[in-house]
Structure 1
Amino acid sequence: MRILIVHNLLWAHYKSSVFQALQRLADQQPDVTVHVLQIARNERSRAGLETVTDTHTPTYLYSYELLFDRFLEDVSLRERAVALFQRAKAFRPDVINLTGYYDPAQLLLLLWAKANGIRVVMQNESTAADHQRGGLKESFKRWVFSQCDGFFCFGNQSAEYLNGLGVAPEKILLRKNAVDNHALRTAYEQALTTRSEQQTALGLRPNNFIFVGRLIEFKNLPALLSAFAEALAQSANAADWGLLLLGDGAEKDALTKQIAALGLTDIVQILPGRPWFLVPDILALSNVLVLPSRSEPWGLVVNEAMACGLPVIVSDRCGCVPDLVRDGQNGFIFSPDQPALLTRLLLRFMNNEVNAEQMGQSGRQTIAPYAPEAVAQEMLDGFMKITA
């Protein structure tokens, strides 16, 4: 069986860890070959998060080709289509795994595969809740999905969305999303050894809530700042707690102004985004991850936080919630339409009303099956199922 995977960005480290695990499985099977076509190195919105090569950078070994060593936005439709067709014809796959339905070049490759008896697995990140749904676009997606033989989904909400568009349940071959749990945990534990010193150097408080991600509108960060300010006003332990926003984005200036207006300049810090393998260094300075998004297909930072043993507070609009977050066990769930609830959840940690350490341990247990090795095995099983 010859497996060809089309993927958008070489930058997507979480996928690279899965591809490496899949490569190792394929190497144990004499009749299985895997090759990945990475269309571009990165996209502009994530340029600052590119991996800087040094002795601490994790590397992933698998068979791949980078088609265009530039930003995805700078690669034309014609360039993508020509390159994908040339490589696919040369590789002669039995099954092709496509990134998604939104790239016309990949849709053309889908039609070519169907005409040549090649099986197609489509990756789907979307859920019914992450955007307004309906109209011609949904009808078009229904037709596209009807042409596919199987699907790899980011969790149960993603799978349910496909079921609603007419995809049979037996065509859902995977319902998971993974990060490199081991690498993250190792980096986190190393960073913990200097937690106090680093907090002092950065002027941080001994306990911190943390958000990790792009500073953009749908992340709902103004609501988080307001809820945190309200929690500070109500907690007797306010002097021990701070808030970190780790990331860059279009909303940074507006958030900085809001922080000043709320009188939080010395309590809330915005730290610049960094490569994924350096994020545990900041998680180690924190106690609880907060992801308040109004829309989020999954939310990989929840995987990362759980791998490091942090409890989480996550909006119910995030696709990972039904799969990962056990309310009251490894974290809490709230609606972004109820900011007062977010304040109460922040207060539960600030007032020591919950066992944060026990929650973190529960999170590590929850995330263990969402390791790259487990996801890769389910992918391989799926490829075998549809090509049998």
Structure 2
Amino acid sequence: MRLAVVASHVIQYQDPFYRRLAAHPDIELTVLFCSAEGAKTYHDVGMGTTLRWDLELLQGYDHRFLRNFGWGEGFFRLVNPGLVPTLVRGNFDAVLFMTGWAWLSAWIGFAACRVARIPIFLYGDSSYVPDEKSVRAKLRAAVMRALFGMTSAFMISGKLNGDYYKHYRADPRRFFPLPWAIDNERFVEGSAFAPGERDAMRERYGIAHDELAVIYSGKLIERKDPMTLLRALARMTHPAIAVFLGDGALRADLERYASHGLPASEPPSFPVSQEAGRPGGSAKSRAAFVGFVNQTDLPKHYAMGDAFVLPSHFDPRATVVNEAMACGLPIVITDRCGPSADIVRHGENGYVFAPGDDAALATHLDALARDAEMRARMAQRSREIIATWSYAEGVDGVAAALKSIAGGEQT
């Protein structure tokens, strides 16, 4: 069957999925990108960094870039009128919107599908129902119910995502799995160390042998609340160091807190890099700021750690959790991170705590620090769980959704 995917831009996590989807014998795939962002060097606003992915992208599937007339960062960021003739004349059996509904282009596409009577498949990461007390919120809810009423298939990225659709009266019989996944194999293979390599890497970042190395990966922004991790470390009774992979607006504040607000660990028995050192002092700070790490180097940066923490106040996707699990880390995240309902299981492969609760986070990290055997068990469970949360399940889900509309039963 002929399937069009409407994608906002080139996303490094989705690109391998498209290759696998295109390889399915019953699917003829065309990916329509509303923007060229991600395919070349670009400035990531949240990260505050200009970057280019060091991966081979856009290989193994048919795709095209549509001209974008959008502006700004909001609803009008993507405006692609070319979607109308492309979809109407494309003879597609279904259109999968990987855009969700956050941009004007998605609604242009929905309208084109309705005119051409093409089944609509929806995919997104919405997981938490917003407050619906205001008139505006009630109008939005009515629009959501109308959109979901004309949707032929909901590609479910996780349990909370399914609950979100149910709240707006979506029909669960039209739910099909499409986990928000990563290239698990690449991260597993990339996290393997040669003899002595892990110790050398930890030494490079000033991680002492007896310290719990806690990895944080992502933008250093308010929503992800990295400061709670530093506050938790200040409460811990066991030696620990936070290693921040990423950049953003809060970096300077975090560095100041790490330099002046945290007690220093004992000086290590080896030289400490300037990046990990406490300015003007001989003792090592309990935080290292690595900055942006590109995709090929990322797996080993996870695997050099002992645990992963994401203290976000709101993070429905949190793909970094998948990455850390594939690299074999215990996971500690808040209950406002989407993976807390699916792949992070409290007491099994990590812990779940309330946003902003640095005392609870410190307790969980101390438990991990004092029990190496438990860390190893949780690390193994992380790899076992994430192995079942993969592109393969998503390809099967899309194939099942296409089968459900074969013969024109739905429009």
- Both proteins in one fold, TM over 0.5: yes
SS of 1:276's equivalent?
coil
Aligned partner of 2:105: which letter? A
1:103-123: per-residue Cα shift (whole Å, max 9, x none)? 222212212211221100011
> Within the alignment, does 1:37 sit opposite 2:32 as a pair?
yes
Residues 191 and 61 of structure 1, relative CA distance in 2, 3 Å threshold: farther
Q: Which 5+ residue runs of structure 2 have no aligned equivalent?
A: 38-42, 265-277, 279-284
- The one-letter amino acid paired with 1:124 is G
Distance 1:79 1:125 in 2: 18
CA distance in 1, matches of 2:88, 2:76: 18
Residues 1:50 and 2:72 aligned together: no
Counterparts of 1:75 and 1:297, CA distance in 2: 18
How far did residue 306 of structure 1 move? 1.1
**1:311 and 2:330 matched:** yes
Give CA-to-partner distance per residue, 1:73-107, whole Å, 9 cap, x none.
58995983322223223422110011211122221
Which residue does 1:200 correspond to in 2? Answer: 203
> Which residue pairs with 2:22 in the alignment?
23
Q: TM-score, normalised by structure 2?
A: 0.84
> CA contact under 8 A between 1:4 and 1:93: conserved in structure 2?
yes
Is 2:174 the partner of 1:165? no
For residues 157-306 of structure 1, the aligned pairs below 5 Å read 157-174=160-177, 176-190=179-193, 194-206=197-209, 207-231=212-236, 234-235=237-238, 238=239, 241-263=240-262, 265=278, 266-306=285-325
Structure 2: how far apart are the matches of 1:58 and 1:374?
Answer: 21
Question: SS state of the match for residue 362, structure 2?
Answer: helix
Distance 1:367 1:285 in 2: 19
Give distance in 2, aligned partners of 1:307 and 1:272.
21
Q: Between Structure 1 and Structure 2, which shows a larger proportion of helix residues?
A: 1
Q: 1:272 to 1:78 in 2, by over 3 A?
A: closer
C-alpha contact (below 8 Å) 1:101/1:141 kept by paired residues: no
Q: State the TM-score, normalized to the length of structure 1.
A: 0.89
How far residue 137 of structure 1 moved from its aligned partner, in angstroms, is 2.1
CA distance in 1, matches of 2:328, 2:3: 35
Residues paired across the two proteins, number: 373
Rounded to whole Å, the distance in 2 between the matches of 1:309 and 1:302 is 11
Question: Aligned letter for 2:191?
Answer: Y
Once superposed, what is the RMSD of the aligned Cα atoms?
2.5
Q: Work out which structure has the larger RCO, using CA pairs closer than 8 Å and 6 or more positions apart in sequence.
A: 1
Match for 1:383: what amino acid? Answer: L
Q: Note closer, same or farther for the CA distance 1:203–1:338 as it changes in structure 2 (3 Å cut).
A: closer
Query: Partners in 2 of 1:58 and 1:192 — Cα distance?
Result: 31
In 2 relative to 1, CA 242–375 (structure 1 residues): closer, same or farther, beyond 3 Å? same
Is the CA contact (8 Å cut-off) linking 2:213 and 2:306 kept in structure 1? yes
Tell me whether 349-358 or 291-300 shows the greater mean CA deviation.
349-358
CA distance in 2, matches of 1:78, 1:315: 30
After TM superposition, list the pairs within 5 Å mapping 1:300-339 onto structure 2. Answer: 300-339=319-358
Equivalence for 2:40: none
Unaligned runs of 5+ in 1: none
Shift of 1:277: 3.1
Q: Secondary structure at the match of 2:364?
A: helix
1:152 aligns to 2:125 (yes or no): no
